[in-house]
Amino acid sequence: MTRLPTPARRTFARAALSAISALTLLAAAPTVLAQTPIKFQLDWRFEGPAALFLASSAKGYYKAAGLDVTIDAGNGSGGTVQRVASGTYDMGFADLAALMEFHANNPDAPNKPVAVMMVYNNTPAAVLALKKSGIKSPADLSGKKLGAPVFDAGRRGWPIFAKANAVSNVTWTSMDPPLRETMLARGEVDAITGFSFTSLLNLEARQVKAEDVVILPYSAHGVKLYGNVIIATPKMIKENPQAVKAFLSAFLKGAKEVMANPDASIEYVKARDGIINVDLEKRRLRMAIDAVVASPDARAEGFGVVVPGRLALMASQVSDAFATKTRVDATAVWTDTFLPAKAELNILPAAKK
């Protein structure tokens, strides 16, 4: 066999090494390229509670799960449901009542989103009034003037609250979200509906002291509606179920850390919206965790899941209150197929003593 001259042998060796390196990179490429893109839309702006989702992005948990997740702000649960239904987004975070309404009003829609994990075990909806109005309980709301945007979850669910508390004869004033708390502070309405942890802080920003506000949470007054859920498109569920499972597992890791240390988690929100009031958003996040994420009902039922009987009751209540075209089918709006094991779902912090 003819031996190559030494310089030629060196050139050949370098070429062989380059070829091996190239093959190694090619072999590794599928792992890099396998990052499944997921477009995810929140229900609202980048405020405190958004940290529950942003943490896993900032810490690289989605990426480690093989996902390339993009998280965008929203402008209301109804819009999020519609954008996921249209395919603009693959997954989202929205009020379960809004999802139920979409299903029942669009029975022939080809791409109705499905809820895959419960996050807000209780609706954050509440009635807020100023103490000087004399309103102390739901009974005091009869005959009063209430205000809220037409799409507000509390306003949409008002018939359920009114029936549970025998409230009648209220009149409604509609306004854009930024004017809701302003009109209450000015006395232009007697009470408003809104998310408890949002409207209270908005009132404080308008120089109303917290001790001067009466809060009547729906969940504390006979209305056991579920709140916000993670939703996914049927297309993603059918074509890439492993990506849905991976997203939920990665979300749980970040959410657990957020609940363990909420104040520090606001840095993830500030990274997406640099002009937020950090102290205010720390309070909003803590209030949201206590009121709807780690609520007594969530602790009793377990994080992430639903109780079939409670879900069926909500489906019936939403059908009546929203006057939907068809009755809500509770089995069509929810699936627990993609939920991680019970031990992995155990992310709630210890109950406060």
pLDDT in tens, 75-91: 989 999 999 999 999 99
pLDDT, residue 21, reads 46
Q: How far is Cα 131 from Cα 87, in angstroms, rounded to an integer?
A: 46
In the predicted model, is pLDDT for residue 240 greater than 90? Answer: yes
Global pTM reads: 0.88
CATH class of segment(s) 34-121+226-345: alpha beta
CA dihedral 291→118→175→80, nearest 10 degrees, is: 150
Domain spans in the chain, listed from the N-terminal domain onward: 34-121+226-345, 125-220
Q: Report the sign of the C-alpha dihedral through residues 33, 35, 36, 41, in that order.
A: negative
Q: Is the pLDDT of residue 341 over 80?
A: yes
pLDDT > 90? residue 24: no
| Cβ atoms 113, 233 nearer than 8 A | yes
Tell me how far apart the alpha carbons of residues 311 and 329 are, in angstroms, rounded to a whole number.
10
How confident is residue 6, by pLDDT bands cut at 50, 70 and 90? low
Q: How far apart are the first and last CA of the chain?
A: 84
pLDDT at 30: 39
Answer whether residue 22 shows pLDDT above 50: no
SS3 319: helix
CATH of domain 125-220: 3.40.190.10
- Residue 17: is its pLDDT beyond 80? no
Average pLDDT over residues 112-132: 97
Cα–Cα distance, 348 to 36 (Å, whole number): 28
Tens digits of per-residue pLDDT, 43-85? Answer: 999 999 999 999 999 999 999 999 999 999 999 899 999 999 9
Average pLDDT for residues 175-185, to the nearest whole number?
Answer: 96
Task: Indicate the residue type of 84.
Answer: V
Q: Where are the alpha helices (DSSP H) in the chain?
A: 6-33, 51-58, 61-64, 77-86, 96-105, 153-156, 158-165, 180-185, 196-205, 234-239, 241-260, 262-270, 278-288, 296-301, 308-321, 330-333, 342-345
Task: Kindly tell me the sign of the dihedral angle through the C-alpha atoms of 122, 123, 128, 134.
Answer: negative
Instruction: Give the pLDDT score at 290.
Output: 96
Mean pLDDT of 121-139: 97
The predicted-structure confidence for 197-239, as pLDDT tens digits, reads as follows 899 999 999 999 999 999 999 999 999 999 999 999 999 999 9
Decide if 41 contacts 9 (C-beta within 8 A): no
Amino acid 352: pLDDT: 81
By CB neighbour count within 10 A (0-12 exposed, 13-18 middle, 19+ buried), where does 349 fall? Answer: middle
How far is the C-alpha of 90 from the C-alpha of 192, rounded, in Å?
Answer: 33
Q: Are 76 and 101 in contact (CB under 8 A)?
A: no
CB 147 within 8 A of CB 180: yes
Same fold, 34-121+226-345 and 125-220: yes
